[in-house]
Homo-oligomer: A and B are copies of this chain.
């Protein structure tokens, strides 16, 4: 199989780091115990490995195509989508009231990872549908929920999110699409939306577009944007929304990225969701879920690239070992630098996975914990982690997929090998659903400054406790982790202080370091999870020595090769004289 889901590592993280037992104790999640998790993950692994993974390369070679307004998807995708929805995979974490299965995010997340690892292009269709469902559940009327959600869950229809316009990418204040109210309470929409993922295709009977637009008297800027449902078909009749082209992209080629034209033939019929001018607010609620999901895409493509590189490194024989232990050439996995590359890929993937699953558990606790204050606390931690999971995991995926190519040597550059596809596919991840800079601005502005760093300090205190717990363990691996996590903790502490203390008087200095701060937070929080994993491994080692020893060795590698970067990032953030270095050149000197 070209992809084997790492079910053991996933279950380890869920149980030992993310507290699956605590989640299963929440009201409404009583069935979500370890046995359920194992069963769901095994079934998902089977489906993703057998059905979706083999279609991945096909999607790259025979991408979706556009002709006369119609998009034809890669052969095999429609069938796979029917199997996917028939298997209930779309409805995993959605509420039972609308025919969902109501599983916690902690169980849905590994399934999401498998889905994306097996076929990133395919996975985007259900991911966007998830986003539409989330928006409808958040702000839709009961009638709208009943009308759309069950059809979206069953896969008869799919959903999209229409935000971007040619002049409005990161800056949604610039959205121009118009929505004119009609006598019957509906609206007519006019405008152009670009970069609409799965905006047109042949896998479902209808496509439910959720569209940001302005009503005639709306205020300028982000406070005048409303959210509308614009279905491709309304009551069986074709609506005036048309796909005028799809993009020719670097990667995720099977996923059609549509330019949608609304209202060129009299106006596209749309229905307001929630209240006027609150569209961006609804989008932001949904966007936390979408951004988290894109972060998981980063982890997924990293794992896929890792698996392929390992397989090649075990098979390819080249050169004698540097320590003279053999006169014959050996499999390249025996060479220290190949081992270093594979260990880097593995350590980064495991750390980012652990952090994402822990974030998912916070989300579940924020939704279902009986105590309101506890819910609010977990919500705050989840919201702090979302931009890190999104930004850090996707930036990592660029490094990991690049190393995947490098392990393959010259073969990595040949498209037929397949390693290059992951490298190309991954490149969109730090861009869409908000670039890394947008995530970093969110982390600084909304997630760190708004509460004066309270959540960040709580996390730092927990990291300090883990550092203390490492002291009791013997051996070089634990000693390395204790030392490096302690240094890294100080680096993050200093950076959080810098952000909190300087944001008002010198915003340029703080935002010049916002992406380094996001990366630093990712490295340290990921390292913290690896440290917790080591401690769990020490406790449980005798149950499965090979698995737990590998976990400890991977954590040691992370401590010695990833955590030391924390101090360098701190220097860039804190010691760089208020962004003077970043802003030292005037625009015309570039």
Instruction: Say whether chain A's binding surface is mostly helix, strand, loop, or mixed.
Output: helix
Copies in the complex: 2
CB pair B512–A337 under 8 Å, yes or no, is yes
| Interface-facing stretch out of A39-47, A293-301, A422-430, A461-469 | A422-430
Across the interface, A420 reaches (CB within 8 A) one of B250, B314, B557, namely B250
Q: Chain B residues near A420 (CB, 8 Å)? A: 250, 427
Question: A492 at interface (Cβ–Cβ under 8 A)?
Answer: no
A511 within 8 A of B: yes
Question: Once the chains bind, are B410 and A427 in contact (CB under 8 Å)?
Answer: no
Is A406 at the interface (CB under 8 A from chain B)? yes
18 residue pairs of the A-B complex, CB under 8 angstroms, read: A247-B413, A250-B405, A314-B587, A331-B587, A335-B511, A336-B508, A336-B579, A339-B582, A412-B427, A413-B427, A480-B576, A546-B589, A549-B589, A556-B580, A557-B581, A557-B582, A560-B577, A561-B572
Given the known A-B contacts A171-B329, A572-B564, A576-B560, are A427 and B414 also in contact in the complex, defined by CB atoms under 8 Å? no
A564 and B560 in contact, given A415-B250, A550-B585 (Cβ under 8 angstroms)? no
Nearest-CB distance from A169 to chain B (Å)? 5
A567 at the binding interface (Cβ < 8 Å): yes
Q: Do B195 and A410 touch across chains, with their CB atoms under 8 A apart?
A: yes
Name the residue on B nearest A344 (C-beta): B582
Specify which of B170, B410, B428 is in contact with A318 (CB 8 Å cutoff). B170
Least Cβ–Cβ distance between A430 and chain B, in angstroms = 6
Number of interface residues of A (CB under 8 A): 101
Query: Given known contacts A564-B567, A582-B557, A585-B550, is B476 in contact with A577 (CB within 8 Å)?
Result: yes
A249 at the interface (CB under 8 A from B): yes
Given A413-B250, A480-B581, A582-B343, the answer on whether A337 and B515 have CB atoms closer than 8 Å is: yes
B554 touches A585 (CB 8 A): yes
Output the nearest chain B residue to A250 by Cβ-Cβ distance.
B420
Beta-carbon contact of B410 and A338 below 8 Å: no
Q: Shortest CB–CB separation between residue A519 and chain B, in angstroms?
A: 12
Contacts of A324 in B (CB 8 A): 507
A319 to B550, CA, bound (A): 47
Shortest CB–CB separation between residue A564 and chain B, in angstroms?
4
Q: Which are the 8 A-B pairs with shortest beta-carbon distances?
A: A553-B584, A564-B568, A564-B571, A337-B437, A336-B512, A171-B319, A250-B420, A560-B576
From residue 323 to 337 of chain A, which have CB atoms closer than 8 A to chain B? Answer: 323-324, 329, 331, 333-337
Cβ contact within 8 Å between B427 and A409: no
Return chain B residues, CB-CB under 8 Å to A414.
Answer: 247-250
Which A residues, 21 to 62, have Cβ-Cβ distances below 8 Å to chain B?
none
Which B residues lie within 8 Å of A557 (CB)? 581-582, 584-585
Q: How far is the CA of A216 from the CA of B507 in the complex (A)?
A: 73
The one of B336, B412, B435 in contact with A511, judged by C-beta atoms closer than 8 angstroms, is B336
A342 within 8 A of partner (CB): yes
Given contacts A410-B431, A560-B577, A571-B560, contact A336 B553 (CB under 8 A): no
- Which residues of chain B are near A247, meaning CB under 8 Å? 413-414
Is A471 in contact with chain B by the CB < 8 A criterion? no
Which A417-476 residues sit within 8 Å CB-CB of chain B?
A: 420, 423-424, 427-428, 430-432, 435-437, 440-441, 476
Across-interface contacts of A432 in B (CB, < 8 A): 410
A565 within 8 A of B: yes
Q: Is the CB of B512 within 8 A of A339?
A: yes
Q: Determine if A583 is an interface residue (Cβ-Cβ < 8 Å).
A: yes
A398 at the interface (CB under 8 A from B): yes
Contacts of A549 in B (CB 8 A): 589
- Knowing A343-B585, A549-B589, A557-B584, the reply to whether A322 touches B508 (Cβ < 8 A) is yes
A158 at the binding interface (Cβ < 8 Å):
no
CB <8 Å contact, B336 and A582:
yes
Expressed in whole angstroms, the minimum distance between the Cβ of A454 and any Cβ of chain B is 22
In the assembled complex, A402 has its CB within 8 A of some CB on chain B:
yes
Closest to A420 in B: B250
Interchain nearest-CB distance for A570 vs B (Å): 8
Find out whether the CB atom of B249 lies under 8 angstroms from the CB atom of A415: yes
Interface status of A559 (Cβ within 8 A of chain B) = yes
B590 touches A310 (CB 8 A): yes
A314 and B590 in contact, given A431-B406, A515-B337 (Cβ under 8 angstroms): yes
Distance in angstroms from A540 CB to nearest chain B CB is 16
Q: Which residue of B lies closest to A416 (CB)?
A: B248
Contacts of A584 in B (CB 8 A): 343, 477, 552-554, 556-557
Interface status of A353 (Cβ within 8 A of chain B) = no
- A346 close to chain B: CB less than 8 A: yes
- Asked if residues A336 and B583 are in contact (CB atoms below 8 Å), the reply is yes
Q: Which of A248, A340, A409, A579 counts the most B-chain CB atoms under 10 A from its CB?
A: A340
Task: Kindly state whether residue A251 has any CB partner on chain B within 8 Å.
Answer: yes
Q: Is A141 an interface residue (CB 8 A)?
A: no
Q: Is A174 an interface residue (CB 8 A)?
A: yes
